Amino acid sequence: MSDDYGRLVGELHTRRKKNLAMGGAEKVDKQHQRGKLTVRERLELLYDPGTFVELGLLASQQSLRGAEADPDGTPADGVVTGHGEIEGRQVWVIAYDFTVMAGSMGAVGEQFKAARVRELALRYRKPIVWLLDSAGARIQEAAGSTFAGTGWLFAEQVVMSGVIPQVAAMLGPCAAGTAYIPGLADFVPMVKDTSSMALGGARLVKAATGEDVTDHDMGGSQVHCYESGVGDNEVANDEECIATVRRFLSYLPSSNTEPAPFVETGDPAERLVEGLDKIVPVNPRAAYDVRKVVRAIFDHESWFEVKPTWAKNIVIGFARAGGHAVGVVANQPMQKGGALDSDAADKAARFIRMCDAFNVPLVYLMDVPGFMVGSQVEKEGIIRHGAKMLYATSEATVPKVTVIMRKAYGAGYYVMNGKGYQPDTIVAWPFAEISVMGPEGAVNIIFNKQVEASENPEATRAQLVETIRAQINPYLAAGWAMIDDVIDPAETRRVIIKGIEQARDKKIDRPWRKHGNIPV
């Protein structure tokens, strides 16, 4: 009897040990040689020590429709699932194991293990993280018309969208339809060189179109974090990627039913912002790096930029203001003069909606010469893209604070949360310029004939420009009480924090509708 007991319990431990060893020493070595960590090393970094609880360790490939299965060679069926804590808060994970059949998504791993994680994360309203390092669907199990029954994971992701935060960390390949996992996620860090994503992998592309391209050239971080905007932050390696995931989640609540977490940072709310005079030129034509302004205003070391290498003419990211998590939307005069274009509008709109969904207040730092104009941007559909940002800013009901630092021109002023978009606080710096267009453009339109008729057109133009410039200073808008105040830039931090706290109990009721029709 006791022999049986020992033998049976011993068998359990043997089975566990085998599956914890993943695809075996050789495959693990290969994973390391590729510059990647194993799935279990990654999980150790992801979670607070000792908090990981695994579900489905003993799973493996099972025989399907009489096809041959290899349960012995497929520990955990190539995906590690479960939950653990990040900074003491529960987070669920679906982590692919490249050492087992290249992390391919099989029936057991996908339809039972991953599905269970999605179900429980949503049931408990906790964030979900995918650690992606997978060849994609396991074709041996998926080819054939039973494909008809697959794919509901994306529908589930859409249901989760805006309810629980979703992170897709790209730590290896993510080919074919599974690339829609990051496509639908809220945050997508990508490891340089080792990660890639594409709707069709290199071999499929060759077969379908004849194009010769590698997975890396087609879908590496150099494409998605710089050109396509599908990836968010390029990171150097697995360690940095996972640290970035933890950092991202620190600014968000576990779900949309909670407030964004408050973290005492020790940076006084009353602190005056020093050094802005050395960062921001009063000459409205001169460029500067707005990220220096952001770092100076918000809590020390709290700035976490998102999508830093794509559509750089707008800067977005999280920071803390007196401990409150905030989403920052700032024009970047250093890139394209800070003018908004299609990609910038897309980037901002999606970020604004994420913040709004997860109760993160928004801070707009405005210095915008307007939307780009001209034939090229019209061909790109800038009206449609710009409308997304207009839509997102209008729709957002979280506390919203607007600081007009310098330029506030045209529709740029609107999408950066101008007065018409229900800012809870809207203030301007003394050298702010608010107008439908710049003085030069206005003179060209209003006084064109007068300038042409003048004996000295350039002098007349310059004089008229100065006349108009005097009208665009912020005191006219403040005189009309269209903005709440003109402030010393040094007071910006205090004004932002007060603005967020003032709006803490904000409640906005809008007419019932199924959903709006954002111009996607």
Partner 1 sequence: MTEVKAELVGSVWKVKTQAGAQVAEEDELLVLESMKMEIPVTAPRAGTVKEVRVKEGEVVKEGQVLVVLE
Site residues for partner 1 per CB under 8 A: 284-287, 333-339, 341, 369-370, 372-374, 376, 407, 409, 438, 440-441
Closest approach, Cβ 379 to partner 1, in A, equals 11
Burial pattern 463-493, b for ≥16 Cβ within 10 A else e, equals ebbeebbeebbbeebbeeeebbebbebbbbb
Cα–Cα distance between 194 and 202 in angstroms, integer?
A: 15
Map residue 83 onto helix, strand or coil. Answer: strand
Closest approach, Cβ 519 to partner 1, in A, equals 23
Q: Which is nearer to partner 1, 302 or 435 (CB)?
A: 435
Closest approach, Cβ 227 to partner 1, in A, equals 13
Q: Which is nearer to partner 1, 317 or 369 (CB)?
A: 369
Q: Residue 141's CB: how many other CB atoms inside 10 A?
A: 23
Map residue 179 onto helix, strand or coil. Answer: helix
Closest approach, Cβ 369 to partner 1, in A, equals 4
Cα–Cα distance between 487 and 492 in angstroms, integer?
A: 7
Cα–Cα distance between 211 and 234 in angstroms, integer?
A: 26
Q: Which is nearer to partner 1, 24 or 441 (CB)?
A: 441
Q: Which is nearer to partner 1, 23 or 369 (CB)?
A: 369
Contact 351, 323 (CB under 8 A): no
Tokens of 433: 């310029």
CA proximity to 232, closest of 73, 346, 386: 346
Q: Which is nearer to partner 1, 286 or 518 (CB)?
A: 286
Q: Which is nearer to partner 1, 67 or 373 (CB)?
A: 373
Contact 121, 92 (CB under 8 A): yes
Contact 290, 367 (CB under 8 A): yes
Q: Which is nearer to partner 1, 14 or 376 (CB)?
A: 376
Closest approach, Cβ 330 to partner 1, in A, equals 15
The helix (run of H) or strand (run of E) holding residue 190 is strand 190-191
Cα–Cα distance between 473 and 493 in angstroms, integer?
A: 22
Catalogue the E-assigned strands of 418-488. Answer: 425-428, 433-435, 485-486
Closest approach, Cβ 195 to partner 1, in A, equals 24
Closest approach, Cβ 439 to partner 1, in A, equals 9
Burial classification of residue 314, based on how many CB atoms lie within 10 Å of its CB (0-12 exposed, 13-18 middle, 19 or more buried): buried
Closest approach, Cβ 376 to partner 1, in A, equals 6
CA 388 to chain centre: 16
Helices (H), 96-230: 107, 115-124, 139-142, 152-160, 180-184, 202-209, 215-219, 221-223
Q: Which is nearer to partner 1, 78 or 474 (CB)?
A: 474
Q: Which is nearer to partner 1, 442 or 451 (CB)?
A: 442
Q: Which is nearer to partner 1, 128 or 311 (CB)?
A: 311
Closest approach, Cβ 448 to partner 1, in A, equals 18
Q: Which is nearer to partner 1, 373 or 520 (CB)?
A: 373
Closest approach, Cβ 345 to partner 1, in A, equals 15
Give 463's contacts (C-beta < 8 A, 6+ positions apart): none
In eight-state DSSP terms, residue 187 is B
Task: Please report where in the chains the tokens 């750089």 appear, as a residue.
Answer: 312
Closest approach, Cβ 176 to partner 1, in A, equals 32
Give 1's contacts (C-beta < 8 A, 6+ positions apart): none
The helix (run of H) or strand (run of E) holding residue 353 is helix 342-357
Q: Which is nearer to partner 1, 76 or 372 (CB)?
A: 372
Closest approach, Cβ 442 to partner 1, in A, equals 11
Tokens of 358: 């997860």
Closest approach, Cβ 347 to partner 1, in A, equals 15
Q: Residue 449's CB: how many other CB atoms inside 10 A?
A: 8
CA proximity to 245, closest of 386, 128, 373, 356: 128
Q: Which is nearer to partner 1, 315 or 354 (CB)?
A: 315
Q: Which amino acid is at 376?
A: Q
CA 340 to chain centre: 18
Task: Please report where in the chains the tokens 């790209």 appear, as a residue.
Answer: 170
